[in-house]
Amino acid sequence: MSDAPFELVDAKDSFIDSDWFHHCRETRTPFVVVRSGEHSADVLWDYITLPPECDAALSDNLPALEQDARAIFDRYAIPESYLRVKATLIGFDRLPFDRAKSAAADLYHLIAAYLPVAESTGIPVGGAAHDRPKEAGARSEPAASTSLSLWVEAVSTSSAA
């Protein structure tokens, strides 16, 4: 396993039963993968390795998390790229290979910054939301004519039935 906070996988391969997946589940840390296809790469964060106590922190901060994820996406995206955001999944799809690894590392650190600290286990789960890292090394904003797409899935709330 490398020191990178993500795993590189081929788009055709399963990544759920990998060493990285099990490491993230055991350490209760964000599960981020870079899936390489023929022409581009997708960066994916999935909630699956995080404990239930992280639900509230992520759901309560979804608007800020979405804004911060979009800032990362905007730095690495090209016009063909698109962003998917919901409380349990963030995807940066169709990024250039040379940008996907940096985007994955930034996404990992962003998610970790929104997680509560695991007090009883002593395992660092991440910092508080107010400790979110400032975006460093940002590339210039996309040109005004660049069209980027955002897909946001609404979070359902219980009905008053």
Specify the DSSP element, H or E, that contains 33: strand 31-36
Whether residue 39 has pLDDT greater than 70: yes
Query: Distance between CA atoms of 128 and 116, rounded to whole angstroms?
Result: 6
Whether 152 contacts 87, CB under 8 Å: no
DSSP-derived 3-state class of residue 15: coil
Helices marked H in 49-143 — which ranges? 55-60, 62-76, 97-114
Predicted structure pTM score: 0.72
Render pLDDT for 104-145 as a digit per residue (tens, 0 to 9). Answer: 999 999 999 999 875 444 444 443 333 434 443 333 344 333
Which residues of the chain form beta strands (DSSP E)?
7-10, 31-36, 41-46, 82-86, 89-95, 149-152
DSSP-derived 3-state class of residue 41: strand
Query: Distance between CA atoms of 1 and 23, rounded to whole angstroms?
Result: 10
